[in-house]
């Protein structure tokens, strides 16, 4: 359609409503004042104006804005350009005055436009675009007069009631919080279709998704794995790498509301702490926001960022401005690890979960609770306890919907207690108090570790992982420090933790939840199935061989929610027979025994973050307290040498010094340190059979893990390296020929919930 010569180049200036446009200079004015507008949004405006009310397809815009050889995420780029154009014109998607969207087709300019005459002295009005209702085969049929009158009256009454209710609801906040107000709020609201669930990523087990967040418009998923940082279109699956500087390995944390920038965390050095950065998704310069921080969340208006800091005494919740300025601490707690930080849609408060660290856990009390922090008064209030069993570590994903529903995870009952699924509960936006009961959303395997929502709440991205510890057998070669390929021993899909060998080095002892509760098993290293040693209704932990190698001792921990925090140590003959009570004490953490001729057995207990040691006899029970100086800190895992002479534990840092291993002589009480440089953490220690070296698991902040052999002479050897999967620990056989290695594959992918 051609009118008034505008398409032949004679008209280069146009006006509509309060706006004037000069296509030659690229200037846009509103009421005589210049309006800032970037190049691509202005080009979109130019094309729409020159179309004179006709539809401009998305493909036409693509070819006009980007040359054929330009690599760009066209969908995202065009959406951004149109959004910025609407911002310049003060237009909206829902009630457009100027730019109308035709889904999957293109855009159309719908306002009346006047073009300047060729000499520029006057403007001539073009025909405005009027969109008529689509007619149907029955649209010409008129109802009887009486029926029409009654129907019209009813329609008008309904419209008046709806308008009045809407005005009352939004104008009167007190009424909005009453039952009547909430009922009126639902009048006229369209019913939600049935929620759907589908998988967004399909990464294999050896390349798990490490972070994932959905964009505010729900069209893109930013995610990371060990191969890089990616942007995926939700609807068609098209995926492109996010351009980042070389060596810039990032974790996706949160989108800014404009949908063009992200907050990411990054560990620069293998032993470093994560820092926070802002990056553009289409490529550009990364900008540092803070020296320390992770698990960041941008406020709904984009002005503030919440994040966590890892401190020597525990984790803390902090806030800062979007540019990284004015950081301040909001919440701290040395007893707790915090979960995902989730802004409420009004930006006045946020929710988080906090779980007691394993050194502060009390079996008689709740481990995990959800709190809402009010930024107006800087006060936190507990809104829900997640049961005495709490949640699996790192499995506390949270999110808010625009209408005030809080989404949170709940642990499944036995035998699926290592799985969590999502539930929701309505909260009153004025009082932050729950209303009604909790409602289940998902049912499936895995632990929900990260959750993000589109701005309208209709799309939810959930990252779930499924850690599965299994036992692998490796042969030691040469000097007993070289490890060959691992062979998987346990073939189930439950949690298996090896803690001992039989004296003949032919079988391992482990505990597993394959039957529901954790039970104790023995399995020959050439067998495919284990033998049950101890079952029952209780959870059983840490089976160890007694010094004479004829029995095992193990721990029955206190039942979650039980009357006390006391645990029991029990003994059972390897040849079979009933278990015998050994002793009872509060907070029992671990037990270990030396080998004959030593008859030494030790257990430790942890209460309120402090560890103490006691001698015990597998038959006679509890003995004296063992005076052991400076054991613990932020790592209470320890191991007793087979000859009964030493205790070793990882000496974790409270500064940026190297980690190492501390050795305590039980005879003299003296300690000495062995440096293990180049690693961020040492854990999972166990002594070699000759008591002359230790096997240790180690990892770096950027991911790689290794199995190390650390000699008492200070020599450190890397026996095996692991890029993916978590190495727990390794237990050497008494004859020094094998290692039982406990490590897990951790599959992790992203699910999408729609129309929630």
Question: How many other CB atoms sit within 10 Å of the CB of residue 504?
Answer: 10
Residue 386's pLDDT is what? Answer: 67
Letter string b/e over residues 198-237, b meaning 16 or more CB atoms within 10 A of that residue's CB: eebbebeeeebbbbbbbbbbbbbbbbbbeeebbbbbbeee
Percent share of the chain, pLDDT over 90 = 44
Residue 6's pLDDT is what? Answer: 39
Task: Note the pLDDT tens digit of each residue in 388-401.
Answer: 566 776 668 899 99
Task: Note the pLDDT tens digit of each residue in 67-77.
Answer: 554 445 567 77
Q: Do residues 609 and 360 lie in contact, with contact meaning Cβ atoms separated by under 8 Å?
A: yes
Mean pLDDT of all residues in 116-125:
56
Helix (H, G, I), strand (E, B) or coil at 180: helix
Q: Do residues 295 and 308 lie in contact, with contact meaning Cβ atoms separated by under 8 Å?
A: yes
In DSSP notation, 571-582 reads EEETT----EEE
Residue 550's pLDDT is what? Answer: 96
Residue 383's pLDDT is what? Answer: 81
What span, in angstroms and rounded, lies between the C-alpha atoms of 447 and 463?
A: 8
Residue 337's pLDDT is what? Answer: 82
- Pairing between β-strand 705-711 and β-strand 716-722 as defined by DSSP bridges: antiparallel
- The pLDDT confidence band at residue 234, using thresholds 50, 70 and 90, is very high
Residue 422 has pLDDT above 80, yes or no: yes
CA atoms within 13 A on the CB side of 522: 18
The token pair that represents 745 in the structure block: 């594959």
Task: Note the pLDDT tens digit of each residue in 723-736.
Answer: 766 888 999 999 99
| Residue 410, CA distances (Å) to 86, 427, 448, 545, 623 in order | 42, 17, 9, 36, 41
Q: Which helix (H) or strand (E) holds 30?
A: strand 27-30
Residue 1 has pLDDT above 90, yes or no: no
**Structural domains in the chain?**
6-125 (1.10.10.10), 468-743 (2.120.10.30)
Residue 611's pLDDT is what? Answer: 83
What span, in angstroms and rounded, lies between the C-alpha atoms of 473 and 740?
A: 5
Query: 248-257, 400-409, 698-707: lowest mean pLDDT where?
Result: 698-707
Residue 190 has pLDDT above 60, yes or no: no
DSSP 154: H
Task: Note the pLDDT tens digit of each residue in 365-392.
Answer: 557 788 999 999 998 888 877 665 667 7
Residue 504's pLDDT is what? Answer: 96
Nearest Cα residue to 708 out of 726, 684, 691, 725:
684
Residue 651's pLDDT is what? Answer: 74
Mean pLDDT of all residues in 660-675:
88
Residue 493's pLDDT is what? Answer: 82
| CB burial of residue 609 (10 Å; 0-12, 13-18, 19+) | middle
Residue 631's pLDDT is what? Answer: 53
Please measure the distance between the N-terminal and C-terminal CA atoms of the chain and give it in whole angstroms.
43
What span, in angstroms and rounded, lies between the C-alpha atoms of 38 and 229?
A: 28
Whole-number mean pLDDT of the chain? Answer: 81
Using the structure block, give the residue that is written with the tokens 């529901």: 516
Residue 129's pLDDT is what? Answer: 38
Task: Note the pLDDT tens digit of each residue in 423-436.
Answer: 999 988 777 788 88
Residue 702 has pLDDT above 70, yes or no: no
Helix (H, G, I), strand (E, B) or coil at 495: coil
Residue 269's pLDDT is what? Answer: 75
Query: 97-111, 320-334, 351-365, 712-726: lowest mean pLDDT where?
Result: 351-365
Helix (H, G, I), strand (E, B) or coil at 47: helix
| Residue 413, CA distances (Å) to 265, 330, 410, 546 in order | 34, 34, 9, 34
Residue 5's pLDDT is what? Answer: 38
Residue 635's pLDDT is what? Answer: 64
Mean pLDDT of all residues in 729-745:
92
Residue 172's pLDDT is what? Answer: 40
Residue 564's pLDDT is what? Answer: 74
Residue 540 has pLDDT above 90, yes or no: yes
Residue 171 has pLDDT above 50, yes or no: no
pTM above 0.75, yes or no: no
Distance of CA 74 to the CA centre of its chain: 29
CA atoms within 13 A on the CB side of 14: 28
Q: Do residues 462 and 453 lie in contact, with contact meaning Cβ atoms separated by under 8 Å?
A: no
């Amino acid at each position: 359609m051609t009118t008034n010569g505008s398409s032949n180049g004679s008209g280069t200036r146009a006006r509509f409503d309060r706006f004037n446009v000069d296509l030659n200079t690229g200037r846009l004015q509103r009421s005589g004042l210049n309006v800032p507008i970037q190049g691509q949004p202005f080009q979109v405006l130019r094309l729409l104006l020159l179309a004179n009310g006709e539809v401009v397809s998305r493909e036409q815009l693509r070819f006009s804005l980007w040359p054929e050889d330009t690599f760009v995420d066209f969908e995202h780029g065009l959406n951004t350009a149109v959004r910025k154009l609407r911002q310049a014109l003060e237009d909206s998607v829902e009630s457009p005055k100027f730019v109308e969207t035709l889904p999957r087709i293109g855009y159309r300019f719908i306002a009346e436009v006047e073009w300047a005459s060729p000499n520029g002295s006057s403007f001539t009005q073009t025909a405005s675009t009027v969109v008529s209702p689509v007619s149907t085969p029955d649209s010409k049929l008129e109802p009887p007069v009486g029926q029409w009158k009654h129907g019209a009256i009813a329609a008008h009454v309904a419209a008046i009631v709806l308008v009045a209710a809407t005005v009352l609801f939004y104008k009167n906040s007190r009424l909005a919080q009453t039952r009547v107000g909430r009922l009126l709020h639902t009048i006229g609201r369209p019913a939600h279709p049935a929620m759907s669930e589908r998988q967004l990523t399909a990464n294999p087990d050896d390349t798990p998704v490490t972070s994932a967040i959905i964009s505010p418009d729900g069209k893109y998923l930013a995610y990371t794995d060990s191969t890089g940082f990616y942007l995926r279109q939700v609807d068609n699956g098209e995926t492109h790498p996010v351009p980042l500087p070389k060596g810039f390995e990032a974790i996706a944390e949160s989108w800014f509301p404009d949908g063009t920038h992200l907050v990411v965390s990054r560990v620069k050095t293998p032993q470093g702490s994560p820092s926070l950065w802002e990056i553009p998704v289409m490529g550009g310069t990364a900008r540092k926001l803070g020296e320390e921080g992770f698990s960041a969340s941008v406020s709904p208006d984009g002005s503030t960022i919440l994040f966590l800091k890892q401190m020597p005494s525990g984790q803390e919740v902090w806030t800062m401005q979007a540019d990284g300025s004015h950081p301040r601490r909001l919440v701290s707690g040395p007893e707790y690890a915090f979960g995902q930080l989730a802004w409420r849609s009004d930006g006045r408060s946020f929710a988080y979960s906090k779980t007691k660290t394993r050194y502060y856990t009390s079996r008689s009390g709740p481990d995990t609770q959800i709190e809402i922090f009010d930024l107006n008064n800087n006060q936190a209030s507990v809104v829900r306890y997640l049961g005495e069993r709490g949640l699996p570590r790192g499995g506390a994903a949270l999110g808010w919907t625009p209408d005030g529903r809080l989404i949170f995870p709940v642990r499944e009952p036995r035998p699926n207690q290592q799985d969590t699924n999502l539930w929701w509960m309505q909260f009153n936006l004025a009082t932050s108090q729950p209303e009604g009961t909790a409602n289940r959303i998902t049912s499936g395997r895995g632990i929900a570790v990260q959750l993000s929502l589109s701005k309208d709440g209709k799309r939810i991205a959930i990252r779930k992982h499924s850690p599965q510890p299994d036992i692998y057998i490796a042969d030691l070669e040469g000097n007993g420090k070289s490890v060959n390929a691992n062979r998987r021993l346990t073939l189930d899909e439950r949690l298996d933790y090896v803690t001992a060998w039989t004296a003949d080095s032919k079988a391992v002892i482990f505990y597993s939840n394959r039957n529901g509760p954790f039970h104790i098993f023995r399995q020959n290293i050439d067998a495919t199935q284990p033998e049950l040693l101890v079952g029952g209704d209780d959870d059983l932990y840490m089976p160890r061989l007694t010094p004479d190698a004829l029995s095992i001792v193990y721990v029955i921990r206190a039942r979650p929610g039980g009357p006390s925090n006391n645990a029991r140590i029990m003994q059972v003959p390897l040849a079979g027979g009933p278990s015998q009570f050994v002793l009872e004490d509060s907070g029992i953490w671990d037990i270990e025994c030396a080998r004959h001729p030593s008859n030494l057995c030790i257990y430790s207990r942890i209460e309120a973050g402090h560890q103490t040691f006691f001698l015990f006899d597998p038959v006679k029970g509890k003995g004296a307290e063992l005076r052991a100086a400076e054991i613990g800190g932020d790592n209470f895992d320890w191991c007793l040498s087979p000859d009964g002479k030493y205790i070793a534990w990882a000496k974790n840092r409270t500064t940026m010094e190297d980690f190492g291993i501390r050795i305590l002589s039980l005879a003299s009480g003296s300690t000495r340190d062995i440096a293990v440089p180049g690693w961020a953490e040492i854990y999972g220690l166990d002594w070699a059979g000759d008591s002359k070296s230790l096997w240790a698991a180690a990892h770096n902040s950027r991911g790689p893990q290794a199995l190390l052999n650390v000699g008492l002479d200070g020599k450190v050897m890397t026996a095996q390296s692991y890029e993916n999967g978590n190495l727990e620990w390794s237990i050497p056989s008494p004859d020094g020929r094998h290692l039982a290695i406990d490590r897990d594959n951790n599959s992790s992918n992203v699910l999408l919930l729609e129309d929630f």
